[in-house]
Amino acid sequence: MNSRLHAAGLDDIDDKLRAGERLTLDDGVRLFECPDLLAVGWLANREREKRHGARTYFNYNLRLEPTNVCVASCLFCSFARLKPTDSAAYTMSLEQAWGKLRKRANQPLTELHIVNGLNPDLPFSYYTDLLKGFKQIRPGIHLKCFTAVEIAYFADLYKMSDEQVLRELMEAGLDSLPGGGAEIFAERVRRKICHDKCGADRYLDIHRIAHHLGLRTNVTMLYGHIETFEERVDHMLRARALQDETGGFQAFIPLAFHPDNNQMRKLPAPSATDTLKVHAVARLVVDSIPHIKAFWIATGVDVAQTALWFGVDDLDGTVQEEKIYHMAGSPTPEGMTTAELTRLVRAAGREPLERDTLYNIVNIPELTPA
Ligand code: SF4
């Protein structure tokens, strides 16, 4: 591999990584520009194996999106509906939302992952009652709910501080925050694709506050639309900087742009090569966040499996009721069983481990024929 790294012009980056030095913006851009995907992947895999060996995590989770009514107009979004009267708009009653968990009483779920549109017509008690009800139905379930964009919207709409919103949601049962809503932190891109929702600084500040309150969170990056390589690496470095400060992020999650049924449908979806490169560069640049996750709904199952050799150590989970990507044309199934995830990981030559949201191991799948 040494001659290959040399031919790819990556000797100095290899030296830095071996010496435990951090990569810079320029290094990250060079990795994106490098045409030798396997050389970049090899470096990322070495870093992945240093931290996690062959271990590959997933969890038994359920996604819920109780409302898609949203006042924002993100160009890449196929999920949101501005008007509650739109035929595709929906808002679940609390009973309907709780019923989604009740009907899975036989499933050993460990996490409920909830995100929504920014709905102007619901009282704050809808969200606190939602969480309280889920905890009553299943007290042990981990509630990973509401992106920082939602938290900012709640604060503005209900006239509270971001911290107050987080504290009240925690009192109702909130256990952690998902990483959605980060998109690309660069102002140039945000102005074009998501100008009317919370900005990068506030997104990061809400995660900072959450970390100080004791919540763990994730951070995402939406790639494959109008962003430059430099903007991707800048995004990674901003996430890394907050992690250096608080240590509260668990996973960095690149999310592939999907072009169906949204205002950016003229753009192609990112290629498999680009997806593998993004995950690999994330592993190399975002050195202080322990896990790099391939969200298989966004990458596609085959690419997520391949990414396990390109820096990725986490595959999210069973998911089960995903709407956001499927309304944008994702051809993946809406859910996978833990047996399917186990087979997928094992077939890639990796070691599957079922975790909970906080990366405690809850099950080591037995060796059965793949
Ligand atoms: S991405 Fe989120 S905030 Fe933006 S339009 Fe869609 S649901 Fe609303």
Ligand 1 within 6 A of 122 CB?
Answer: no
- Residue with CA at minimum distance from ligand 1 atom 4: 74
Ligand 1 within 6 A of 190 CB?
Answer: no
Distance 265 CA to ligand 1 centre (A): 16
Ligand 1 within 6 A of 178 CB?
Answer: no
Which atom of ligand 1 is nearest to 70's Cα?
A: 8
Ligand 1 within 6 A of 238 CB?
Answer: no
Ligand 1 within 6 A of 77 CB?
Answer: yes
The confidence band for 262, taking pLDDT boundaries of 50, 70 and 90, is confident
Task: Give the tokens for residue 239.
Answer: 């996430």
Distance 73 CA to ligand 1 centre (A): 7
Q: What residue type is assigned to position 192 of the chain?
A: K
The confidence band for 294, taking pLDDT boundaries of 50, 70 and 90, is very high
Note the pLDDT tens digit of each residue in 296-353.
Answer: 999 999 999 999 999 999 999 898 877 777 777 777 887 899 999 999 999 999 999 9
Ligand 1 within 6 A of 117 CB?
Answer: yes
The confidence band for 140, taking pLDDT boundaries of 50, 70 and 90, is very high
Q: Please give the backbone phi and psi of residue 311, each rounded to the nearest 5 degrees, phi first.
A: 100, -15
Ligand 1 within 6 A of 115 CB?
Answer: no
Contact 173, 133 (CB under 8 A): no
